[in-house]
């Protein structure tokens, strides 16, 4: 069996691998896991011995098939629990990440199977992230960033890239919720900020920084 710590490293390697080309670096992992590079090196040696990663000294790291399978399993659990917390217990989408960080490590395949069924086999978590299938596939979403949408286009808000409480509460404040339709009515060339017309004709003004973290369909 694998420790919580090992599971968190696998998840982090998966996350970084999707966001950078090539291998994942020791320093990037140290920053993400809030540890020091030396600690990361120790763990990489261990994960490598367990054949969960491909690792050559100084050359960065990549998940093996088994490592990726495990990472996706943990991400699946995390996202299913987030759905539970929001849909069944009524938590806000800005409140569930930390709790799911703990729940994702509960070891019981039967539990995940039943939870999935109980939630109605959801395809997306409360942040619009796709839930890996029980077979271990990460579904592809063709979403673009709102910051890449052309003037005049009409799109729907489908997910967020940034998951911090502060960002999500910022969206709450502007009543920008997943599923709402968004028309790009103005793009300022100076700072790339955008003016949106959303579902009930309300106008919302968002910075480029925000637009870069919104995914649309």
From its own copies, Mn ion, DNA, none, which one binds at residue 143 (CB under 5 to 8 Å depending on kind)? none
Residue 145, SS3?
Answer: strand
List interacting residues with its own copies (CB under 8 A).
85, 88-91, 95, 98-99, 102-103, 105-108, 110-111, 114-115, 118
Per DSSP, what are the bridge partners of residue 145? 215
Q: Which of 43, 85, 215, 216 binds DNA (CB under 7 A)?
A: 43
Q: Which of 127, 143, 155, 159 binds Mn ion (CB under 5 A)?
A: 127
d(CA 4, CA 11) in angstroms, rounded, equals 11
∠113-116-119 over CA atoms, to 5°?
150
Local structure of residue 106 (DSSP, 8 states): -
**Residue 42 binds to DNA (criterion: CB under 7 A):** yes
User: Any idea how long the chain is?
Assistant: 217
**Residue 51 binds to DNA (criterion: CB under 7 A):** no
Structure token digits, residue 212: 């870069």
CB of 86 or CB of 216, closer to Mn ion:
86
Using CB under 7 A as the binding rule, the residues of this chain from 136 to 195 that contact DNA are none
Contact 54, 64 (CB under 8 A): yes
Q: Which residues bind DNA (CB under 7 A)?
A: 3-6, 25-28, 33-46, 55, 57-60
């Amino acid at each position: 069996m694998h420790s919580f710590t090992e599971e968190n490293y696998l998840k982090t390697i998966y996350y970084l691998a999707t966001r950078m080309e090539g291998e994942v670096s020791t320093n990037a992992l140290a920053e993400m896991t809030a540890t020091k590079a030396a600690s990361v090196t120790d763990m990489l040696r261990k994960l490598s011995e367990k054949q969960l990663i491909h690792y050559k000294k100084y050359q960065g790291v990549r998940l093996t098939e088994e490592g990726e399978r495990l990472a996706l399993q943990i991400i699946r659990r995390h996202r299913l629990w987030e759905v539970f917390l929001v849909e069944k217990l009524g938590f806000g989408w800005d409140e569930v990440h930390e709790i799911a960080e703990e729940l994702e490590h509960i070891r019981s395949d039967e539990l995940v199977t039943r939870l999935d069924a109980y939630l109605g086999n959801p395809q997306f978590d409360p942040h619009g992230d796709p839930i890996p299938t029980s077979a271990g596939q990460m579904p592809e979403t063709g979403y673009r960033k709102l910051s890449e949408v052309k003037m005049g286009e009409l799109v729907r808000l489908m997910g967020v890239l940034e998951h911090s409480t502060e960002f999500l509460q910022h969206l709450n404040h502007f009543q920008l919720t997943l599923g709402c339709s968004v028309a790009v009515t103005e793009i300022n060339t100076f700072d790339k900020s955008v003016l949106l017309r959303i579902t009930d004709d309300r106008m919302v003004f968002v910075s480029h920084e925000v637009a870069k973290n919104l995914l649309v369909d």
